[in-house]
Amino acid sequence: MPERTATIASRSGLHARPAAIFAEAAGESPVEVTIAMAGSPADDALDAASILSLMTLGAAKGDVVVLRAEGDGADAALDSLVTLLETDLDAE
């Protein structure tokens, strides 16, 4: 299954506005994307399109997360979501 790692760049971590922007983008991708903290079992992965899941994940700035997806367009979707995570969304 295609997967990518990404380092959270937003100052406030994956909360608030950055979480909302990311969840919305994940919801719009053609495939289902999951998110987990790096090193945690794939079974614990959460729905990346769920803002509440993202908030309970509690990823802070500098934390590394793993995104996974399967199906047509998974690679492209993951790439664009990684870019989003590695951008400081609080700065915009």
Partner 1 sequence: MQNFQGVGVSPGRVIGTIRQMPKPVSEPPSGELLAASTTAEEAVAGLKAAAQSVHDELKARADKASGDGKAVLEATALMAKDTMLLKSAIKLINNGSSAERAIWEAGASVSEMLHNLGGYMAERATDVLDVRARIVAELRGVPAPGIPASDSPFILVAEDLAPADTATLDPAVVTALVTSGGGPQSHTAIIARSLGLPAVVAARGVDEIPDGTEVFVDGAAGTLSLEPTEEHRTAALAWVANAATLAVFDGNGTTADGHLVPLLANVGGAKDAAAAAALGAQGVGLFRTEFCFLERDTEPTVLEQAAAYRGVFDAFPGKKVVLRTLDAGADKPLPFLTDATEPNPALGVRGYRTDFTTPGVLGRQLEAIAIAADETEAEVWVMAPMISTAAEAARFASMCDAAGIKTPGVMVEVPSAALTSASVLRHVGFASLGTNDLTQYAMAADRQLGPLAELNTPWQPAVLRLVQLTVAGSAEEGSGKPIGVCGEAAADPALAVVLVGLGVSTLSMTARSLAAVGTVLKTVTLEQAQELARLALSAPDALDAKAWVRAKLPILEELGL
Q: Which residues are catalytic?
A: 15
CB atoms within 10 A of CB 67: 23
- Rule CB under 8 A: choose which of 23, 36, 59, 81 binds partner 1: 23
31 belongs to the binding site for partner 1 (CB under 8 A): no
Contact window for partner 1 (CB under 8 A) among 1-9, 16-24, 33-41, 77-85: 16-24
Residues in a beta bridge with 20: none
Inter-axis angle of helices 74-85 and 16-28, to 10 degrees? 170
Footprint on this chain of partner 1 (rule: CB under 8 A): 12, 15-17, 19-20, 23-24, 46-47, 49-53, 55-56, 58
